[in-house]
Amino acid sequence: MRTLIIYHTRSGMTERIGQEIGAELDSRNVETTIKRADAVNEQDFKDSDVWIFGSPVHFFGPSKASKRALSVALRVNNDGKFFTTFDTRYASYNGPGAAGKMANMLKDAGVKMITEPELFIVESSKGPLAKGEEIRASDFGKKIAQEMKF
């Protein structure tokens, strides 16, 4: 199965989480492509079986670039496609954020969720990630890889 990790980042924290997830998937022989949200196209989604969307929480939801990437994904026939989402946020934020809202959009479009969204904590808008978040990202990659055995 081919996996596509799509992320938007402002300070590099969401990208870092995506890279950790991708490294874990690669270590488990899962073919993985990582792309910025503003560089992804329809063919990327067509060529992938699992989509992993990552975004910082921006005004209580996904960033504009992440929303644009989602709209590209939703133009593709999603039969047999799976997804999960993640976001980066402050510890004090408890809403659905980017991960929850992106997951709802994908579910509403009929894409199958492979695992529940994951939330990663940043110390400030410029980083760093909170202690242990890179390890948690790697663990999230393990969980995704395990769920791909269907």
Predicted local confidence at residue 1, as pLDDT: 87
Enter the DSSP assignment of 47.
Answer: T
pTM: 0.95
On the question of pLDDT at 92 being above 90, the answer is no
Predicted local confidence at residue 87, as pLDDT: 97
Contact (CB, 8 A) for 1 and 148 = yes
Predicted local confidence at residue 127, as pLDDT: 81
Mean pLDDT of 13-42: 97
- State the CATH number of the domain containing residue 71: 3.40.50.360
Determine the structural domain holding residue 135 and report its residue range: 2-147
- Cα–Cα distances (Å) from 92 to 12, 14, 15, 121, 122, in that order, read 20, 17, 21, 9, 10
Higher pLDDT, 68 or 10: 68
Mean pLDDT of 10-33: 96
Contact (CB, 8 A) for 46 and 31 = no
pLDDT tier for residue 124 given thresholds of 50, 70 and 90: confident
Number of domains into which the chain is organized: 1
3-state helix, strand, coil in the chain (%, to 5): 40, 25, 35
Predicted local confidence at residue 93, as pLDDT: 82
